[in-house]
Structures are given as structure tokens and as C-alpha cells.
Amino acid sequence: MTQKKFQRMLYGGDYNPNQWPEETWSEDLRIFKKAAINSASVNIFSWAKIQPSEEVYDFSELDKIIAMLTADNYDIVLATATAALPAWMFKKYPEVGRTDYEGRQHKFGQRHNACPNSLVYQKFARRIASKLAERYGDNGNVTCWHVNNEYGGECFCENCEKAFRVWLQSRYGTIEALNEAWNMDFWGHRVYEWDEIVLPNALSEGIGYDDTAFAGISLDYRRFNSDSMLENYKMERDAIRAFDQETLITTNLMGTYKNLDYFKWAKEMDIVSWDNYPSYDTPPSYSAMCHDLMRGLKEGQPFMLMEQTPSQQNWQPYNSLKRPGKMRAQSYQAVAHGSDTVQFFQLKRSVGACEKFHGAVIAHAGHENTRVFKEVADLGHELANLGDQLLDSRTKSRVGIIFDWDNYWALEYTSGPNKDLTYVDQIHQYYQAFYDKQIAVDMISVDSDFSQYDVVVAPVLYLVKAGLAERLEAFVQQGGQFLTTFMSGIVNESDNVYLGGYPGPLRNMLGIWVEEIDALAPEQFNHSVFADGSVFKNNLLCDILHLEGAHSLASYQSDFYAGTSVVTNNQFGQGQAWYVGSQLEPAGIAHIVEQLAEAAHIKSLTKEDSGLEITTREKAGETFTFILNFQEKAQDLPVEFIGKTDLLSGEMLTKETSLASFDVVILK
């Protein structure tokens, strides 16, 4: 099956003309045209209008919207509208509603309110997706199908409980294998029949939403919930494919969102899309990491920036305006890290309900004479001038950082040793160290081909799946550099500890044995003293370890384990395995990453110590270099870029060139 590709960079976003009188639509399009907007995502929440009752469908309004956009040659991102259910469905079939963690069945309202294992919901969702594809699938302006919207949440109803038991039978085969995997003899929890298994919610194993008495069952329920929603996505995708074999199909993801295993989801998606909503104080390195994660889900393929706000959000604690230039810089950051689209939520601000103050291209004033619109228009014309130069270009990285949802779930279900240990924060600390050195990173899965990298980093690799240790050993033996940290190599896929000493299956490669793990309270800290005399603060956890072939790079300065190793390096075959036994301050992590990069002969994109973000995309033998300034003050241009021409301004860069706050330069 040959699938269509984007013919231009999509610039637009969510448009809800169904919420407005028809006589306003032409004025909206006039304003959009002034901003060089060329795409619109429609039908996101229109199920109730399209299907006013069980047997009645009314496409008349959507027909007009599609015809209007087609006539103006918009790229249409057509949603299936299944993220919010019609009231009549709840009224007639209450089983479609979710039951929450506390055991309360929800009524009509909110958005993601469908039980993923409700056969009634599945029937109606499949039917509407099918009808939409049959009606609009041959429209050449429908560039992408958008299934549902921001899948998320969980359900704990009886439907899900029964489906979970079936899922478990498929996974384990026998009840005895399940009892062993979950260590059910602890607290006498052994079960004898499949129907004795109950969901891990507040009425059973739950201690709190993110805590559990039995991590084995709760970990499996995370997997099951992710799989259940993925089956919903695949169901709608397949319904579309029956009528449209070529158009790309996606659903919008949410970065490091915890509940869904996005690496597994990406295998079923034609193109990854995601919604980027940094808060006023989100570090740019974190947004960059999320972009790289979205790119990494499909092994480096370009993705879609499906949603961002032109200015302020409305649902965060502090919904600050984006300062002049920041939206442009954030948009180009997405493009720099692999996006082939720049899209907004929303194109027109809604008149009421909870998102009425969410930023939009057209504000409540209803015209184009606003600061935000001018910025949107300026960006639109810049992207139009760039044309398809960047489209389908790729990022080449020699560093891979492992991100694994099983590990994410298991680590944060763990009771102890320190409640402040969170997975994404640990990943970001190491990502930021590479980011600050302008070294490109791929976010990769535990199943990725490690051989295409010189460095693989896996902070807090707590859960080590069968076969992973052997693959990492092969990577290092063949010359790779591997780094991991405290709380790694501890448990298997069922959260049962590898006996024989930490870090379990990684112990031989790392050349260490961790005897104890000390937890430090927020006010406590130690210091790590490196062989070169550098000293850095460390906190959170302190591994007390013994060398078993590795050599020490740094030692603790105080406490009863003063003088023992905290950072180690072990020659293993042709490569090296590095271990960091505590959470070092950012400068300490940067110190280690610098040594790691040097060992792998990886150089920064600039020789200068710059506060700029610098990254590249490549296409047809040409390299595009993006230079972005997210600092609050102007930054000098690194000397190696002097004499090159900025694609955006057309101006040659000189030694006097500096980048103002939120300024962007693209070089070819």
C-alpha cells in the first residue's frame, strides 16, 4: 500500500466552524488567508451533531465545511469525532461510561468518557469512522485522518475487569504462571480461578492512584489499559482503510504522557502527531526532548506538531502570555527536531465553556488586528517562503537515550526508597546535558537497534526485560559506550527482584555490586569528588557499591560510605560501561557527559560554550542548521556560522550578528 505524503508543510490547526453561525465562516477564511494558513483540522468534537440519534446521521453541515475548505485548497485533517460521546448514547446505553479508580461510574459529560471495552461504544465508533471514510475518503484535500483525540485516562468497570482476565490468560497461559509472576504468595493473595482476579483500584490493591500493594497486577493493568485503547484506535483506523487506502492516519499523542505505551502505539500509526503545551517555566530542553521522543517513536521519521497555542493556555495554574517571538521560536524548535507541520489549537477562540480563554489565531475581538495574529501571519509567510525545503528531512544522532513505558510505570509504583524519584525527571537531566552541549539525541526504545549509536544512555533502568541485558552487552562489547544510573537492573517485567545482588543482569557488564541504597531527604546531600579534583553535590539516592572490575571515577566525600565509589567505568570488550550511583547536580552530570562524549569521539555542533540551541536536519545531501535563542538576553553567533546566509531573512551573518531573545536562524 502506497500512502500519500504531505506536499507542503501544513500550517493551521483545529477549526470548529460547527460552533459558529455559517455566515461567519467566510470571514474566518479571509483572516486565515492573510496568515498563509493552509490546513484545518475539523470534526474533532462533532459526533453529537453528525449523529443526533441512534439511527440518524446528518452530514449536511460537515459537507459544507469540507466543500468550503476544498474550494480554497486547504489540507484537511479530518477527525473521526469519537472522543466525546452524544448524550443519547449515555442515556440509552449507560455501560459506555467509564468507572473511575474510586469505583464510581461516570455519567454523561467531560470528554474521554467512553469505556474502551464497551462493545456498544466500539460499535458506534466503528460505524461513524466508516461512514466518514466512505463519504470523504476520495477527497484529495483530505490529507490526514485524525482518529479520536488525545486518548487518555483509564476505566475500572466490570467490562474492563472481564476483558482484563482474558488479556491475562493470553499473557500467562495458566493461573499458576500468573501467581508466580505476581508473587501472589505474599500476603496470601494466591488465586485459583481467573474470575477471582479483581481490578487494582481503590477498592482492591490500590493505596492511591499511583501506588499499589501489588506492582505486578497494577503494572499489567497499565499494559492492558494501553492495549485496550490502542485496539480502539486500530478499530477506527481499519474502518477508514476499508474506504481509503492511501491517506495518512494518526491520533494526537501527548509527549511523556504516562498512561499509554507510545512506542507500541506508533507501530500502528502512519505518522506520529502530538500536542505541545509547555508552561511558562518549562525548560526549552524539556520541549526539545519531547519532540525528539515523538520523532523517535517511529525511528527518526518526521512527525506532526498537531497542537500548540498561539499564545496562552487556559488550563495550567499560571497561563502566562507567550512573550513576543516565543511562539515563533517554539514552532521552529518543533521543526528543527523533526516536525513537518506547525498547527495550533485553536484557529478561533470559542465563545464559552472551559476553553474560551485558550489562545487562538482569531481572538474574541474577531479581527486580525492583534499582536498574536501578526506573529501567526509573519510565521505563516516565512514557512510559505521556505516551501518544501525542510519537508521529510531527517535528524542524524550518534546518541540514544532509552525511554521505556514499562520502566516508567514500574519505577513509580515502587514503594521506596525515595518518593521524590520520578522517571521523566531522571531522563530529562541526562538529555539536558547533551542538549546544552549541542549534541543531537534520539529518544529510543528498549527494542531499538543499538548498533546505529555510539552512545546509549539509560537512566534508572529499573525494569530490565528478558534479553535486554544481553543486547546491551553486545553493544558495549562491539565498542559502544553505555551509561546507566542508580536504581537500574533491579526487577524483571513483573516487578520481581533479580536475586544475587544489584544491578542484576547488568552487574557483569558494569563491573560493580550495589550492596545498599541510601535515601536522602530533600534537605540532605553528599558530594562526589572526581579524580581530576572536581567536586559536585549529589542527593536523592546514594548507592553503596563495590568494584568488581570497574574502576572508580568519583567517590563520596562524607557519611559512613565516604571514600567509596559513586561513579564508575568498566572496560567491557571493545567498549565501556559507565555507572552513576547518585543524582548529581546538573554540572556534575554535564561533567560525566563530557567524558562520555569524548570517549565516543562525539563533538558539539559548535566549539563555543553557547547558550543557544543548535540542531540539524538533513535531506538529499544538504544540512539545515537551526540556531535558536531561548535565553532572555541576546546571544552572540558562534564564529563557525559567520559568512553563512540565513534562510529566513536572506541576510548574510557577520561577526556583529547576535540573536535577540527568541530569535531564530536557519542555515543551509
395-416 residues labelled b (16+ CB within 10 A) or e (exposed) = bebbbbbbbbbbbbbbbbbbee
Residues 6+ apart with CB under 8 A from 465: 406, 446, 492, 493
Helix axes 326-336, 284-296, angle to 10 degrees: 30
Q: Which residue bears the cell 479483581?
A: 198
Judge contact between 310 and 376, C-beta under 8 A. Answer: yes
Q: Is 111 assigned a ligand-binding role in the annotation?
A: yes
Q: Which residue type occupies 577?
A: A
Q: Is 115 assigned a ligand-binding role in the annotation?
A: yes
Q: Is 20 assigned a ligand-binding role in the annotation?
A: no
Phi-psi region of 617 (alpha: psi -120 to 50; beta: other; left: phi over 0): beta
Q: Using CB atoms within 10 A of its CB, is residue 95 exposed (0-12), middle (13-18) or buried (19+)?
A: middle
CB atoms within 10 A of CB 112: 18
153-189 residues labelled b (16+ CB within 10 A) or e (exposed) = bbbbbebbbebbbebbeeebeebeebbbbbbbeeeeb
Catalytic residue among 154, 205, 307, 368: 307
- Helix, strand, or coil here: 410? helix
Q: Is 290 assigned a ligand-binding role in the annotation?
A: no
Distance CA 182, CA 171 (A): 13
Catalytic residue among 150, 154, 205, 473: 150
Q: Is 538 assigned a ligand-binding role in the annotation?
A: no
Q: Is 354 assigned a ligand-binding role in the annotation?
A: no
Based on the residue annotation, tell me whether 299 is a catalytic residue of this protein: no
Judge contact between 489 and 459, C-beta under 8 A. Answer: no
Distance CA 264, CA 281 (A): 31
Residues 6+ apart with CB under 8 A from 651: 645
Nearest to 233 by CA among 173, 119, 150: 150
Q: Is 160 assigned a ligand-binding role in the annotation?
A: yes
Residues contributing to the annotated binding site: 111, 115, 149, 155, 157, 160, 315
Q: Which residues are catalytic?
A: 150, 307
Residues contributing to the annotated binding site for substrate: 111, 149, 315
Residues contributing to the annotated binding site for Zn(2+): 115, 155, 157, 160
